[in-house]
Structure 1
Amino acid sequence: MAAAISLSLPLDPQNLLCPCRLRPTTLSRPLQSRFFTRLSPIYKYPLTTFHREGLCSFKSSSSSSSSHSSTTPTTPTSSHHDDPFRTGRFLSNEELEKLRFLQNFLYFKELESGSLWVRVMGAEEMDMTIGLLAESFAESMVLPVGYVSVLKFLVRQYLMERKIQMPHMATLIGFYKETGEGGEEQEVQLAGTVEVCFNKMGANASPPTPTPPKDSPYISNMAVKMSFRRRGIGWHLLKAGEELISQMSSSREVYLHCRMIDAAPLNMYKKADYKIVKTDSVLVLLMLQRRKHLMRKKLPLLSNPPESAASESDTETFA
């Protein structure tokens, strides 16, 4: 199976490595600020502490096989959790409420071989996510190991720029804990990642072709660590993204790209009820790019939609 579940991405590794095709948004300096209003996140995850090395401390666990968005609140044990979701721009009250919702989102699933937790990436998990994406891109493009450091630099620029668009988009990360033999405690590790866009304000400035509607939700940059493939993690990253989109967007139509050569991901998307709506022209081969399918799925309506977090106030807060 390919390193990345879907490599037809806004963050196109082929464009990143060819200076003549670099997009302006790839190399521009991310918005920076000296002042940030700290939000006080409430962590409602079984994974209460994610250290820089990617290890986790457990205070509670769940044996439920269904996804959920909240558990018993716990108190962060590390000071770097004070403000992991700051965006560096002024947010309206509605955006602040949505940002807090993203902080508390959790998709949990018991798999045959272990447990999977999917949640929104915080600032302290960016480095490990960058490493996963860079290695996945290098593997899929059959690049020498030396190119990984170059990809890491470009992926970092991309993720920093995209983070400014929260809460109109989010990068999800999946942590996996393998079931040990004889009840032996296993280490929790980063297993995969996926990016979800909820609306036009979170849309990528230069999406790949065929171009999806900018005002529709979009799933991209999905990758699973090589050692954790064929365990259903890619499937549940997709489902976690769909669940979050259902709660954050009023649009039911979700789009994604899949390269024509990636047979396994294409079959997975078809199984998840995604339909091909358009395919790249053969002319893209002249640009040294892979042909891609644009796929679409209509999400079902929520039986119990969450109450709107919108505020009629025009007040803005810097976060």
Structure 2
Amino acid sequence: MAIAAAPPLKLSPYLDPQQQPRLQTEFNPIKRVPFLSSRNPLLCVCKLHRYNFKCCLPSSSSTNSVTPAQYYSFLDESYRGSRVLTNEELEKLKALESFVYLQELESGSLWVRVMRIEEMDMTVGLLALSFAESMLMSLQYEALLRFFVKQYLIERRASMPHAVTLVGFYREEGGKRGEELAGTVEVCFDKRGANASPPTPTPPRNSPYICNMTVTKELRRRGIGWHLLKASEELISQMTSSKEIYLHCRMIDEAPFNMYIKAGYNVIQTDSIFILLTLQRRKHLMCKKLPVSNSFPEPDMSESAGERSTFLNPS
């Protein structure tokens, strides 16, 4: 998928993360969470795994009043005071802060939650390296890519809580390395969080959209990408009443396509062959209608190709 920062910034390669760094951070689920939002799509797929999980969100019945000062603190300094949030938006910030998706895998544990400001640089590094690898670019351009990707993530923060960046951290069972950054995914909830320049075929602007997902290369074939997808769906079901979720998948990405089909997504529309004249790959627009009880089929871990990320060109 393509990364495109606010209107002027556009990156348009196709991402295939062959070399992704193993990043580490200390996981503290109690620490207050700043938020990042997303606009452009990078869809990734991963091998499926067991799907027992715990999704934590505050119930509406127990929700107390939210003070603006408390939740404005989650925004970048540059955005504080530049935008007045409604009570509904403040309540959504509270829900995002509390969201944690927990999953026990065969080889360890996975946490998925909203990205914190101090985790932005490592997330930028993961995306930039994947982006450079997909374009077959020399690593000498990595610093430039990091700059554009970071500007993109900073710009997207202005859309929160209408869109958000999630990060997944993995801890290997019995391991001594601590928590490692395992992947990231962006979720748009409505038209205010939608892409300014969406990829084709164009998804409905007011419908939830999953994009910009990638998994650290060394941690593939563990079900992480699958659970990033599932965590996104769980969060969407809590943040919006819409039951239709959209995403893109390149036609050449057979393994991701098969995983999306297995997860319940269907092809709605496919790019015309003329899209090749713009030097873009043809893509499927896929949609899933969330059931009342959102459950996934038994995962299939037989292939690793489904764990690769794909940038889609938004231009």
TM-score range, shorter chain: 0.7 to 0.9
Answer whether contact 1:179 1:186 (CA < 8 A) is retained.
no
Q: Does 1:210 align with 2:201?
A: yes
Q: 2:291: which partner in 1?
A: 300
What residue in structure 2 maps to residue 56 of structure 1? 26
Q: Look up the match of 1:162.
A: 156
CA distance in 2, matches of 1:259, 1:171: 22
Work out whether 1:174 is the aligned partner of 2:168. Answer: yes
Task: Name 1:109's counterpart in structure 2.
Answer: 103
Question: 2:55 touches 2:234 (CA, 8 Å); kept in 1?
Answer: no
Structure 1 residue 152: Cα displacement: 1.1
After the TM superposition, list the runs of 4 or more consecutive aligned residues in structure 1 that deviate by more than 2 angstroms.
57-60, 81-89
Partner SS state of residue 91, structure 1: coil
Contact 2:7 2:196 in 1 (8 A): no
How many Å separate the matches in 2 of 1:249 and 1:100?
14
Counterpart for residue 128 of structure 2 = 134
Query: Are the aligned partners of 2:57 and 2:95 in contact in 1 as well (CA < 8 Å)?
Result: no
Measured at CA, do residues 97 and 82 of structure 1 come closer, stay the same or move farther in structure 2, by a change above 3 Å?
closer
CA distance in structure 1 between the aligned counterparts of 2:56 and 2:257, rounded to whole angstroms: 28
1:290, 1:151 → 2: CA distance? 21
Give the equivalent residue in structure 2 for 1:92.
Answer: 86
Q: Which of the numbers 49, 54, 57 marks the counterpart of 1:67?
A: 54
Distance verdict in 2 for CA 1:134–1:59, change over 3 Å: closer
Counterpart for residue 242 of structure 1: 233
The 8 Å contact of residues 102 and 112 in structure 2, kept in 1 or not, is answered as yes
Contact 2:24–2:178 (CA under 8 A) maintained in structure 1 = no
Query: What one-letter code is carried by the residue in structure 2 that aligns with 1:56?
Result: E
Give 3-state SS (helix, strand or coil) of 1:267's partner: helix
Which ranges of structure 1 fall in alignment gaps of 5 or more residues?
1-7, 17-22, 28-52, 72-80, 304-319
AA paired with 2:220?
A: R
Secondary structure of the residue that 2:276 maps to in structure 1? helix
Tell me, yes or no, if the aligned pair for 1:54 and 1:125 is still in contact at 8 Å: no
Bigger relative CO (Cα 8 Å, ≥ 6 apart): 2
Q: Which amino acid aligns with 2:256?
A: P
Listed as ranges, the gaps of 5+ residues in structure 2 are 11-22, 31-50, 59-70, 295-315
CA–CA distance in structure 2, aligned partners of residues 65 and 270 of structure 1: 20
Q: 1:124 to 1:58 in 2, by over 3 A?
A: closer
RMSD: 2.5
Give TM-score scaled by structure 2 length. 0.72
- Whether 1:291 aligns to 2:278 is no
- Give the structure-1-normalised TM-score: 0.71
* SS in structure 2 at match of 1:212: coil
Structure 1 counterpart of 2:243, one-letter code: R
Structure 1 position 274 matched with structure 2 position 265: yes
What is the number of equivalent residue pairs in this alignment? Answer: 246
1:57, 1:153 → 2: CA distance?
Answer: 26
Q: For residues 191-214 of structure 1, what are the alpha-carbon distances to aligned partners after superposition, in whole Å with 9 as ceiling and x for unaligned?
A: 100000001111111011111000
Larger Rg: 1
Q: Distance in 2 between matches of 1:179 and 1:147?
A: 36
* Counterpart code for 1:222: M
Q: For residues 28-47 of structure 1, what are the structure 2 equivalents within 5 Å? A: none
Instruction: Tell me which residue corresponds to 2:9.
Output: 26
Paired residues of 1:117 and 1:176 also in contact (CA < 8 A): yes
Supply the distance in 1 between the matched residues of 2:72 and 2:157 (Cα, whole angstroms).
Answer: 17
Match for 2:277: what amino acid? L
CA distance in 1, matches of 2:188, 2:140: 31
> Identity, % of aligned pairs?
59
How far does residue 142 in structure 1 lie from its aligned partner after superposition? 2.1
Distance 1:293 1:57, change over 3 A: closer
Structure 1 residue corresponding to 2:252, chosen from 239, 242, 261: 261
Q: How far off is 1:95 after superposition?
A: 0.5
Q: Give the structure 2 partner of residue 189 of structure 1.
A: 180
Contact kept in structure 1, 2:190 and 2:207, CA below 8 Å: yes
